[in-house]
Amino acid sequence: MKKENLLHWIELSESALSKNLRSLATFAGKRMMAVSVKANAYGHGLNEIVNMLNRNKRIDYVTVHSLDEAMEARQAGWKRQIMVLGPIPTSQLREVLTRNLEPTIFELNILRTLGRLTSKYKKHVRTHLKLETGTNRQGLAEEELSKFAKVYKTYPYLRKPYGASTHFANIEDTTNHEYAEYQLQNFNRLVKKLETLKIKPEIRHTASSAAAILFDETRFEMVRPGISVYGHWPSKETFLSHQQLGGKISHFQPVLAWKTRITQLKNIKADEFIGYGCTYRTTKPTKLAILPVGYYDGYSRSLSNTAYVLIRGRRAPVRGRICMNLMMVDVTDIKGVKIFEEVTLIGHSKGDAVTAEQLAGWSGTINYEVLARISPKIPRVIVK
Ligand SMILES: *Cc1c(COP(=O)(O)O)cnc(C)c1O
């Protein structure tokens, strides 16, 4: 649909996406790249992002959390590799074979069931063994490796893990990377153990965006960036560390802009209340614009009386509480505002911008959550 006919939409910039991927390729070199499209491609829209990634031959893999997301990626026409990071129900493991997926392995029964299926259907499956190195999330401990090795060797179509992986606990939140170094040492030790157990993986991968950007030793044979592909730094600390290390990237370019239109304009008097709970009271005659966006759409209620939106590059502060489907902004000082005029919730407008990072700061969370919570139901429009 054309944006002229929409009241609420997400714009996705294909050129920004390509540019970010080129920046990341400077770190990846000849290594494989696996782009994370979990959480509806970080709220951007899995279908649209997969379509754009499909046009970029440099990307070898997409990674998803769930089987559902893997199916969605296949439906969107993705024929290259898919790694599933999260758990898959035993009853649906058959899909791994039919859809040619690569599951992450951290559970022995799942590996056994998968093994039986590969024997039954005489089909090889690539698996990625998730190693516990100190995040204490998914992952298997050193003591368990020999049990897993046994199962691998029982089933000839499994044979050994294709990949060995881990995930860092404390790489974005700090400029002190001792814990990441500790985890990396653990990872290297566990991989050696896999070798002695005769199930040496073909590839190793540990690097999310922050690790891939900052530390060569984490890149191994493949990197797994997510947030940076979409044009966002994992954190301020990652940006600072990158600069301290003499890095050359000054910015990633956000792929997503969030837009709506003014659907009602009204003049209200001084001393009037605005919205639920009467949390805002005007001190002067005020021109108010009503926008058809609310917390249902992912615009957090914690932005009530706090955030601003942009109209023709001017800031319009949010007044009162964010409602389920609506919100109100003050446009008193923006001359000549018209009904159905375009409003920017995230993105650039003339000389100004509202960023996912700002919304995250205002609502006490991180850019990842602001983006991931944007409703999948909002129409997506791809722009050059
Ligand atoms: C989400 C995720 C990534 C990507 O992380 P970013 O910080 O978005 O780059 C990489 N690896 C795993 C296991 C993940 O869950």
| Residue 36 CA to ligand 1 centre (angstroms) | 6
pLDDT digits (tens, 9 = 90+) for 174-192: 999 999 999 999 999 999 9
Among the listed residues 314, 205, 206, 252, the one whose alpha carbon sits nearest the alpha carbon of residue 23: 252
Under a CB-based contact definition with an 8 Å cutoff, are residues 70 and 82 in contact?
Answer: yes
Q: Which residues are catalytic?
A: 38, 276
CA 248 → CA 60, 118, 237, distances in Å? 25, 46, 16
Give the residue carrying structure tokens 């990072």: 357
**Distance, CA 209 to ligand 1 centroid (Å)?**
7
Q: What is the Å distance from ligand 1's center to 73 Cα? A: 17
State how far the Cα of 10 lies from the Cα of 2, in Å rounded to an integer. 12
Distance, in Å, from the CA atom of 126 to the CA atom of 130, rounded to the nearest integer, reads 13
pLDDT at residue 1 tops 80: no
Residues with CB under 6 A from ligand 1: 36, 38, 85, 167, 208-210, 224-228, 234
**Whether the predicted pLDDT of 322 surpasses 90:** yes
Give, in degrees to the nearest 5, the angle at Cα 374 between 165 and 105: 20
Nearest CA, atom 3, ligand 1? 208
Distance between CA atoms of residues 101 and 10, nearest Å: 29
Count the residues in the chain: 384
Does the global pTM surpass 0.95?
yes
**Shortest CA distance to 46 belongs to which of 260, 233, 226?**
226
Over residues 308-317, the mean pLDDT reads 98
Closest CA to 262 of 298, 302, 310, 218: 310
Residue nearest to atom 6 of ligand 1 (CA): 226
pLDDT tens figures, 185-225: 999 999 999 999 999 999 999 999 999 999 999 999 999 99
Q: What angle do CA 378, 382, 384 make, to 5 degrees?
A: 150
Give per-residue pLDDT as tens, 116-156: 999 999 999 999 999 999 999 999 999 999 999 999 999 99
